[in-house]
């Protein structure tokens, strides 16, 4: 049995707590490795090393820091196949999807190559007589991030690339479900020229997270994961005086107007609802056709497409549409919610409950499901299912559809499919959701924009990546400077306006 490590001070270090978690191959259901769960002392050791390494890294000029990012991009491309294979083996997603996971992280690293421009600061010459004023963006010091299982390459990079480009040290606590790729990324960063101790990976669970939340040296915490944990981390981190940003769960609605291109809408729903087995925070989990006639046409288009979906292990080739879910517990949770949908009166149009794959009977596969006639009081509507389950809620009008999305507690992403520019524009302006697609089903913004939801999908003020990341990972210091013209003018003791 492979025993994974932490990555502390530039070395692979064995866990010393004596506690481990199982890492599965979700396609076979086998335990393929054990990951150590760090103790408070192991976190303290990593923080001590980071605090020693950070000042020299902060003093390295931004262009040199950017060159490390540039070299890292080259190494990611060099090792793309290896990273994707390791990712698929622990997560279960298909190889093309795993490459997308690495690629979307890589693009944020590319953006961070522009750090020298983004960190330039502001300067006012002659803000008063002989007085200049300038604002600097300085790193916070030692920063930390806690990441979810569903994007084990992308989300760590969304955090550590801007943190490091700004001159911080960063401690990553990745998901204990798929920790191998984060360890590989830390190794690659060092190969790219990052000094030892500036980026460390400490594996663990709640104990490690709590140790980060309470350590006085840690200046900021970034979190991505489920909403209850996001809420806990935000509250605790803020109470301990840290800068915190937390991104939580989602229930993303796609509104289909009667004038939409129904083939396009159905294709979009298939990819956005079932891709990555629905384990994406930007997955569409609710289809909202406007009018019964639209709903009937949509269901008619969806059913044959769903029945054609190919579910299988990542090793079965590139035509597999999606793989297993991450753990047996995740599968049980999904099946429990599906049963609740049936019990509460939704119509299960496509029932994937008896799905089984020869040779992979112990894998955590869940067949695709489609519900119709879902209502807002049902658990399958209220809760995030995070599985290959699409719910259809029929709306009587556009107003009813937009209000449905507005009233849901989550506000990560949403989409509208229509040929009417006026409806699309109204939707984009009024909706209280952070990321909006117009005839685009998964509107994940690119690296140079920012990523973030509204409502219970986010806790904190700034989004991930783009310019917001450079605000989150720096503090502004403003200097007012005067070089006295000489002692001939004498001292001044009154508080003066700069006139
Ligand atoms: P999770 O909340 O279970 O775990 C996330 C991280 O928190 C992991 O590193 C885990 O070890 C840690 N953690 C778990 N329980 C904890 C506890 N009690 N105390 C402290 N730390 C704890 O989430 P997950 O299952 O890994 O990921 C799926 C969730 O993440 C979904 O809800 C999904 O919507 C969300 N997500 C959101 C975004 C976004 O940008 N909004 C992106 C990706 C995933």
Coil/strand/helix, residue 138? strand
- 3-class SS shares of the chain: helix, strand, coil, % to 5: 40, 25, 35
149-196 pLDDT tens trace: 999 999 999 999 999 999 999 999 999 999 999 999 999 999 999 999
Tell me which residue range forms the domain holding 213: 2-248+457-479
Transcribe 271-333 into DSSP letters: HHHHGGGG--TT-EEEEEEBSHHHHHHHHHHHHHHHHT--B--GGG-TT--B---S-HHHHHH
Which atom number of ligand 1 is nearest to the Cα of residue 249?
34
* C-alpha closest to that of 327 among 96, 55, 34, 22: 22
Indicate if ligand 1 lies below 6 Å from the C-beta of 275.
no
* C-alpha closest to that of 274 among 261, 292, 262, 287: 287
**Contact, 188 vs 219, CB < 8 A?**
no
* C-alpha closest to that of 395 among 429, 423, 433, 360: 423
Question: How many whole angstroms separate alpha carbon 470 and alpha carbon 120?
Answer: 11
2-19 pLDDT tens trace: 999 999 999 999 999 999
Residue 318 confidence (pLDDT):
83
Transcribe 339-364 into DSSP letters: HHHHHTT-EEEE--TT---TT-TTS-
Residue percentage of the chain with pLDDT more than 90: 95
Take atom 38 of ligand 1 and give the residue whose Cα is closest: 281
* C-alpha closest to that of 205 among 237, 163, 175: 175
Q: Do 466 and 382 sit in the same domain of this protein?
A: no
Mean pLDDT of the chain: 97
Q: Do 16 and 115 sit in the same domain of this protein?
A: yes
Q: What does pTM read for this prediction?
A: 0.96
365-422 pLDDT tens trace: 999 999 999 999 999 999 999 999 999 999 999 999 999 999 999 999 999 999 999 9
Question: How many whole angstroms separate alpha carbon 146 and alpha carbon 173?
Answer: 5
Residue 483 confidence (pLDDT):
87
- Ligand 1: residue of 181, 225, 235, 410 to mutate (most ligand atoms within 8 A of CB) is 225
Q: Is 281 designated active site?
A: yes
Q: Do 22 and 124 sit in the same domain of this protein?
A: yes
Cα(445) to ligand 1 centroid in Å equals: 21
**Contact, 406 vs 432, CB < 8 A?**
yes
Q: Do 77 and 118 sit in the same domain of this protein?
A: yes
Which atom number of ligand 1 is nearest to the Cα of residue 174?
9
Cα(236) to ligand 1 centroid in Å equals: 16
Indicate if ligand 1 lies below 6 Å from the C-beta of 285.
no
Is 60 exceeded by the pLDDT of residue 491? yes
Indicate if ligand 1 lies below 6 Å from the C-beta of 459.
no
Residue 94 confidence (pLDDT):
98
Indicate if ligand 1 lies below 6 Å from the C-beta of 101.
no
Residue 487 confidence (pLDDT):
58
Q: How many domains does the chain have?
A: 2
Q: Do 132 and 43 sit in the same domain of this protein?
A: yes
Indicate if ligand 1 lies below 6 Å from the C-beta of 147.
yes
Judged on CB neighbours under 10 Å (0-12, 13-18, 19+), 409 is exposed
* C-alpha closest to that of 266 among 297, 235, 293: 297
Indicate if ligand 1 lies below 6 Å from the C-beta of 384.
yes
Question: How many whole angstroms separate alpha carbon 145 and alpha carbon 152?
Answer: 12
Q: Do 384 and 474 sit in the same domain of this protein?
A: no
Is 80 exceeded by the pLDDT of residue 223? yes
307-341 pLDDT tens trace: 999 999 999 988 999 999 999 999 999 999 999 99
Residue 494 confidence (pLDDT):
72
Question: How many whole angstroms separate alpha carbon 477 and alpha carbon 283?
Answer: 40
Q: Do 175 and 271 sit in the same domain of this protein?
A: no
Q: Do 90 and 37 sit in the same domain of this protein?
A: yes
Take atom 40 of ligand 1 and give the residue whose Cα is closest: 247
Q: Is the dihedral of CA 438, 443, 446, 452 positive or negative?
A: positive
Average pLDDT over residues 53-63: 98
Per-residue CA distances from 269 to 112, 387, 432 (Å)? 33, 14, 21
Residue 449 domain flag: no
Residues 6+ apart with CB under 8 A from 413: 250, 252, 281, 282, 433, 434, 435, 436, 437, 442, 443, 444, 453
Question: How many whole angstroms separate alpha carbon 273 and alpha carbon 370?
Answer: 10
Binning pLDDT at 50, 70 and 90, where does residue 484 land?
Answer: confident
Is 70 exceeded by the pLDDT of residue 482? yes
Which uninterrupted H or E stretch holds 405? helix 398-407
Average pLDDT over residues 479-491: 76
Q: Do 233 and 365 sit in the same domain of this protein?
A: no
Q: Do 94 and 168 sit in the same domain of this protein?
A: yes
Residue 313 domain flag: yes
Is 70 exceeded by the pLDDT of residue 498? no
Q: Do 237 and 334 sit in the same domain of this protein?
A: no
Residue 364 domain flag: yes
Which atom number of ligand 1 is nearest to the Cα of residue 457?
41
**Contact, 166 vs 115, CB < 8 A?**
yes
Take atom 17 of ligand 1 and give the residue whose Cα is closest: 206
Domain harbouring 379, CATH code: 3.40.309.10
Encoded tokens for 17: 């707590």
Residue 495 domain flag: no
Residue 492 confidence (pLDDT):
66
Average pLDDT over residues 263-267: 98
Q: Do 297 and 381 sit in the same domain of this protein?
A: yes
Residue 138 domain flag: yes
Indicate if ligand 1 lies below 6 Å from the C-beta of 279.
no
Transcribe 443-464 into DSSP letters: -PPPTTS-B--EETTEESS--B
Residue 363 domain flag: yes
Average pLDDT over residues 432-458: 97
**Contact, 167 vs 58, CB < 8 A?**
yes
| Bridge partners for 289 per DSSP | 256
Encoded tokens for 195: 């000094």
Question: How many whole angstroms separate alpha carbon 92 and alpha carbon 327?
Answer: 10
Indicate if ligand 1 lies below 6 Å from the C-beta of 107.
no
Residue 484 domain flag: no
* C-alpha closest to that of 172 among 201, 152, 205, 203: 201
Residue 211 domain flag: yes
- Ligand 1: residue of 159, 229, 249 to mutate (most ligand atoms within 8 A of CB) is 229
Domain harbouring 183, CATH code: 3.40.605.10
Encoded tokens for 308: 């054609």
95-138 pLDDT tens trace: 999 999 999 999 999 999 999 999 999 999 999 998 999 999 99
Cα(419) to ligand 1 centroid in Å equals: 37
């Amino acid at each position: 049995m492979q025993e994974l490590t932490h990555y502390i001070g530039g070395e692979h270090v064995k866990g010393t707590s004596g506690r481990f978690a199982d890492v599965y191959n979700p396609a076979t259901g086998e335990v393929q490795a054990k990951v150590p769960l760090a103790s408070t002392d192991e976190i303290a050791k990593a923080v001590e090393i980071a605090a020693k390494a950070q000042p020299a890294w902060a003093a390295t000029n931004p262009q040199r820091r950017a060159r490390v990012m540039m070299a890292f991009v080259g190494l990611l491309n060099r090792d793309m196949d290896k990273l994707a294979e390791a990712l698929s083996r622990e997560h279960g997603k298909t190889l093309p999807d795993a490459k997308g996971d690495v690629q979307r992280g890589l693009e944020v690293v590319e953006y961070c190559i522009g750090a020298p421009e983004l960190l330039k600061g502001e300067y006012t010459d002659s803000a008063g007589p002989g007085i200049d004023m300038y604002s600097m963006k300085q790193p916070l010091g030692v920063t930390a991030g806690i990441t979810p299982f569903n994007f084990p390459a992308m989300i760590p990079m969304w955090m550590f690339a801007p943190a490091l480009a700004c001159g911080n040290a960063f401690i990553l606590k990745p998901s204990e479900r798929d920790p191998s790729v984060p360890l590989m990324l830390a190794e690659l960063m060092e190969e790219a020229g990052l000094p030892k101790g500036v980026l460390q990976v400490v594996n663990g669970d709640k104990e490690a997270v709590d140790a980060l939340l309470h350590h006085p040296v840690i200046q900021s915490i970034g979190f991505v994961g489920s909403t209850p944990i996001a809420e806990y981390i935000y509250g605790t981190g803020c109470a301990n005086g840290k800068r915190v940003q937390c991104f939580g769960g989602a229930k993303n609605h796609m509104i289909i107007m009667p004038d939409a291109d129904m083939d396009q809408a159905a294709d979009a729903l298939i990819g956005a609802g079932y891709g990555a087995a629905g384990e994406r925070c930007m997955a569409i989990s609710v289809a909202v056709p406007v009018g019964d006639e639209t709903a009937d046409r949509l269901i008619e288009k969806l059913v044959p497409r769903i029945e054609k979906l190919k579910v299988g292990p990542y090793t079965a080739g590139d035509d597999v549409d999606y793989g297993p879910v991450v753990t047996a517990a995740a599968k049980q949770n999904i099946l429990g919610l599906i049963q609740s949908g049936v019990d509460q009166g939704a119509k299960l149009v496509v029932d994937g409950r008896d799905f089984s794959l020869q040779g992979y009977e112990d894998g955590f596969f869940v067949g695709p499901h489609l519900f119709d006639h879902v209502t807002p009081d049902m658990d399958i509507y209220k809760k995030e299912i995070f599985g290959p389950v699409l719910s259809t809620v029929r709306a009587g009008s556009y107003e009813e559809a937009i209000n449905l999305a507005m009233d849901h507690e989550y506000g990560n992403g949403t989409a509208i499919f229509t040929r009417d520019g006026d409806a699309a524009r109204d939707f984009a302006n009024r909706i209280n959701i952070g990321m909006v697609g117009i005839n685009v089903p998964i509107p994940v913004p690119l690296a140079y924009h920012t990523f973030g939801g509204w409502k219970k999908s986010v806790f904190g003020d700034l989004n991930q990546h783009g310019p917001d990341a450079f605000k989150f990972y720096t503090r502004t210091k403003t200097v007012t400077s005067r070089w006295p013209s000489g002692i001939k003018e004498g001292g001044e003791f009154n508080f003066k306006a700069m006139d």
